[in-house]
Amino acid sequence: MKVYFLGTGTSQGIPVIGSNHPVCNSNDFKDKRLRVSVWISWENHSFVIDCGPDFRQQMLTSGCQKLDGILFTHEHADHTAGIDDIRPFNFKQGNIPIYLDDRVLVSLKQRFAYVFETVNKYPGAPSVEPILVKNNQNFKIGDKTAIPIYVMHGDLPVFGYRIDDFAYLTDVKTVEDGEIEKLKGLKVLVVNALREEPHHSHFSLQEALDFITLVNPEKAYLTHISHTMGFHEEVQKRLPANIFLAYDNLQITI
Ligand SMILES: [Zn+2]
């Protein structure tokens, strides 16, 4: 399975509009971060986790030709606002399956009512096939099993996903012990680390490192990164040998 980091930034992306922060002015390509998402593919299967406002650019840059579905973590705009741009895939393939919590579907129906219109729907509008995700109910994506991981983003429940020995958890602040059990034996864990300073709904760097120690994957990649985390190169030097700051367009094989 290939994992392509389409975006590794927090909700505003890096650089932040109008910011003079040194990280926003950095010339290092690893300090440029689109909104967070990954593309996972194997054989002829191709899925993304989340579909944020940079989706169009991410699909063009990565060269993604086909999309078998979108797994949503939660409804926040930095994870969902790109849904209008699935249209090129609709024109080639028809409805795109979207895997999501019932609450996330209600939110998308409010915010993107035209996508879910059943009467007089505009012919060029995006079309999706919702598939509800429930905790403790594994589901199939292609010929693989996706295991939902139920975690908390402050007060908001969010789904992470485990597929084989890969797990992707973003926008996490707290995780119950029972869910940590579902993460045993991972080769690769991707988890959010916003910045050094604590935050009410995201892991800080130290919280992410402590969580990685608990889960004990072979390797871990940090994502959903704020410009206030610092320069990629400097932060990476301070991390343990099996922990990496992800960056946009990084590709790994599991
Ligand atoms: Zn987010």
Distant-in-sequence, close-in-space partners of 176: CB < 8 Å, separation ≥ 6? 150
- CA of 194 from ligand 1 middle (Å) equals 10
Full pLDDT tens readout for the chain, 254 residues: 999 999 999 999 999 999 999 999 999 999 999 999 999 999 999 999 999 999 999 999 999 999 999 999 999 999 999 999 999 999 999 999 999 999 999 999 999 999 999 999 998 999 999 999 999 999 999 999 999 999 999 999 999 999 999 999 999 999 999 999 999 999 999 999 999 999 999 999 999 999 999 999 999 999 999 999 999 999 999 999 999 999 999 999 99
- In the prediction, which pLDDT does 77 show? 98
- CA of 200 from ligand 1 middle (Å) equals 13
* Spatial separation of the C-alpha atoms in residues 142 and 123, rounded to whole Å: 28
* Spatial separation of the C-alpha atoms in residues 251 and 249, rounded to whole Å: 6
DSSP state string for 172-192? -SB--HHHHHTTTT-SEEEEE
Q: What is the CA radius of gyration of the chain?
A: 17
DSSP state string for 17-72? TT---TTTT---GGG-BPBPEEEEEETTEEEEE---TTHHHHHHHHT-----EEE-
- In the prediction, which pLDDT does 165 show? 98
> Which tokens hold the place of 143?
């010929």
- CA of 37 from ligand 1 middle (Å) equals 10
171-191: b (≥16 Cβ within 10 Å) or e? bbbebeeebeebbeebebbbb
For the domain made up of 2-253, give the CATH fold: Metallo-beta-lactamase; Chain A (3.60.15)
- CA of 199 from ligand 1 middle (Å) equals 13
Over residues 185-203, the pLDDT tens digits come to: 999 999 999 999 999 999 9
- CA of 146 from ligand 1 middle (Å) equals 21
Q: For the chain, which residues make up each domain, given as ranges? A: 2-253
Nearest to 15 by CA among 1, 2, 34: 34
- CA of 224 from ligand 1 middle (Å) equals 7
Q: Across the strands, what pairs with 191?
A: 169, 222
User: Cβ(13)–Cβ(35) under 8 Å?
Assistant: yes
- In the prediction, which pLDDT does 234 show? 98
- CA of 70 from ligand 1 middle (Å) equals 16
* Spatial separation of the C-alpha atoms in residues 99 and 104, rounded to whole Å: 10
- CA of 110 from ligand 1 middle (Å) equals 19
